[in-house]
Amino acid sequence: MTTLIVGGYGSVGRTIAEDLATASDDANAVIIAGRDETKANAVASEFGDNVSGIAFDLEETDSYARILKDVDQVVMCVDQSGTAFVEACLESGADYVDVTASDEFFRQVEQLDDLARDGDATAVLSVGLAPGVTNLLAKLMADQLSSVSDIQIGVLLGLGEAFGPAASRWTLERISREFAVPTAGHSGSIRGFSNPVPVEFPRYGQRWAYSFDFADQHVLHRTLNVPARTHLCFDSRGVTSAVYGLSWVGLYRPAVEAIGLDRLTDLVSTLSVGGDGFAVTVEVDGQQNSTAKTLMTAIDGREQSRVTGIVAATVALAIRDTAVPDGVHHIHEILDPEPILDVLRKQGYRLTNSEQVRETREPVPPNP
């Protein structure tokens, strides 16, 4: 079994390479690919004979056939503007795992379901922390209820972690940007970093968190047919308040334009104004037989980018070693949450659960 990791010398890719290299006995089982062959080879040399490096540029479409030759699965750690490479993977029969967080991209890949089935390939999306772990936690709790009425997700990110430029730029672009959310049977629009709600995070206590365009809320609504909302805050209360204030008075966008998105991305990627911890809280409201309940579960720890790498490696191993259906799927649609969560527990991440019984006059109707 040979796994190609595209963007494999970033922080997420390194974690994936290390986990897969120690889990496989195949020579050259892991190939780290990126534009800089020197970096790819340098990272590959850290993990022994099972890992090698190769130069690869996604823009060079004529190299796809060469790069995918004898590759059984691909783990993508780089954002893409289109699906040309995904299509090449699925046509070649290579399974595909993607750690991107963009729902716009997810919707494009979802249209390739027939192509994946024709190629006897499986594509897994929503692989990471949010989306990813959040999807698994929501599905785990939803399965404990006879019906579900609402899903609320809170994400707290530490600003002291060394995020790559792509991750920083993705977040900066979505602050104060309008995005569509389903509300009461129709689609509404909301602005990123607006609508504050109090969220209780393990280790951090109650924080104000704000609407944000994470993909998990869109994916969970499409796949579970349940309204979902995701809210974001940072470990630094000061930075969170400042970002909200700028967005609320309409100055965030003008400020970004004045500074320049590229320059601001470089600045944010190098600043350290918080810790490297994170916390995620997922609440699911619904009905368990005749009782209205709210189920809550949370995960916290350090280095959310490492969580993404661990989850991606675990997914890659799962679709390699177990029977999974062909086609395009999100993580919670084809994989049992518990084994993945157990891996995170063993890596030192803490999961907590609680349950609240609520009074209700009318039963919540079951999902169609």
Please indicate, yes or no, whether residues 161 and 299 belong to a single structural domain of this protein: yes
The phi, psi pair for 85, rounded to 5°, reads -70, -35
What single-letter amino acid sits at 109?
V
Please indicate, yes or no, whether residues 185 and 283 belong to a single structural domain of this protein: yes
Residue indicated by tokens 């944010």: 268
pLDDT, tens digit (0-9, with 9 covering 90-100), for 79-114: 898 999 999 999 999 999 999 989 999 999 999 999
Q: How confident is the model at residue 118 (pLDDT cuts 50, 70, 90)?
A: very high
Structure confidence at residue 368 (pLDDT)? 37
Please indicate, yes or no, if residue 291 is contained in any of the structural domains.
yes
- For the chain, how long is the longest CA-to-CA vector? 65
Structure confidence at residue 367 (pLDDT)? 43
* Helical H segments across 93-148, by residue range: 103-110, 113-118, 134-142
Please indicate, yes or no, whether residues 110 and 148 belong to a single structural domain of this protein: no
Residue 356 clears pLDDT 90, i.e. is over it: no
Please indicate, yes or no, whether residues 144 and 291 belong to a single structural domain of this protein: yes
Residue indicated by tokens 């309940």: 293
Please indicate, yes or no, whether residues 104 and 73 belong to a single structural domain of this protein: yes
Please indicate, yes or no, if residue 322 is contained in any of the structural domains.
no
User: DSSP readout, 181-219?
Assistant: EEETTEEEEEETT-S-EEEEETTTEEEEEEE---HHHHH
Please indicate, yes or no, if residue 339 is contained in any of the structural domains.
no
pLDDT, tens digit (0-9, with 9 covering 90-100), for 134-190: 999 999 999 999 999 999 999 999 887 666 667 777 888 888 888 988 665 666 888
Q: Which of 95, 125, 155 is the last residue of a domain?
A: 125
Q: What does each C-alpha distance from 23 to 7, 20, 44, 74 come to in angstroms? A: 20, 5, 15, 16
Please indicate, yes or no, whether residues 98 and 148 belong to a single structural domain of this protein: no
Structure confidence at residue 310 (pLDDT)? 96
Return the closest-CA partner of residue 152 out of 131, 172, 132, 138: 138
For residues 211-239, average pLDDT = 93
Structure confidence at residue 25 (pLDDT)? 60
Please indicate, yes or no, whether residues 59 and 142 belong to a single structural domain of this protein: no
Structure confidence at residue 353 (pLDDT)? 83
Structure confidence at residue 170 (pLDDT)? 80
Distance CA 368, CA 244 (A): 37
Q: How confident is the model at residue 366 (pLDDT cuts 50, 70, 90)?
A: very low
Scored b (16 or more CB within 10 A) or e, 84-119 reads ebbbbbbbbbbbbbbbbbbbebbeebbebeebbeeb
pLDDT, tens digit (0-9, with 9 covering 90-100), for 31-88: 999 998 999 999 989 988 889 999 999 999 999 999 999 999 999 999 898 999 999 9
- Output the domain CATH number for residue 12: 3.40.50.720
Please indicate, yes or no, if residue 337 is contained in any of the structural domains.
no
Please indicate, yes or no, if residue 311 is contained in any of the structural domains.
no
Q: What is the pTM of this model?
A: 0.90
Please indicate, yes or no, whether residues 111 and 145 belong to a single structural domain of this protein: no
Please indicate, yes or no, whether residues 57 and 33 belong to a single structural domain of this protein: yes
Distance CA 81, CA 89 (A): 16
Q: Which of 101, 125, 149 is the last residue of a domain?
A: 125
Helix axes 215-224, 103-110, angle to 10 degrees: 40
Please indicate, yes or no, if residue 50 is contained in any of the structural domains.
yes
Please indicate, yes or no, if residue 77 is contained in any of the structural domains.
yes
Please indicate, yes or no, if residue 329 is contained in any of the structural domains.
no
Please indicate, yes or no, whether residues 225 and 240 belong to a single structural domain of this protein: yes
Distance CA 33, CA 6 (A): 5
Q: Please give the structure tokens belonging to residue 84.
A: 């040309």
pLDDT, tens digit (0-9, with 9 covering 90-100), for 293-314: 999 999 999 988 899 999 999 9
Structure confidence at residue 265 (pLDDT)? 74
Please indicate, yes or no, whether residues 97 and 137 belong to a single structural domain of this protein: no
Higher pLDDT, 11 or 339: 339
Distance CA 40, CA 30 (A): 11
Structure confidence at residue 166 (pLDDT)? 72
Distance CA 226, CA 104 (A): 19
Distance CA 316, CA 98 (A): 10
Cis peptide before 165 (omega within 30 of 0): no
Domain tally for the chain?
2
- Output the domain CATH number for residue 217: 3.30.360.10
Whole-number average pLDDT of the chain:
88
Q: Which domain range does residue 17 map to?
A: 3-125
Q: How confident is the model at residue 255 (pLDDT cuts 50, 70, 90)?
A: confident
Q: How confident is the model at residue 21 (pLDDT cuts 50, 70, 90)?
A: confident
Structure confidence at residue 219 (pLDDT)? 96
Q: With contact defined as beta carbons under 8 Å apart, do 216 and 228 qualify?
A: yes
Least confident of 222-226, 267-271, 315-319: 267-271
Cα radius of gyration (the chain): 20
Please indicate, yes or no, whether residues 75 and 133 belong to a single structural domain of this protein: no
Q: Which of 125, 145, 177 is the last residue of a domain?
A: 125
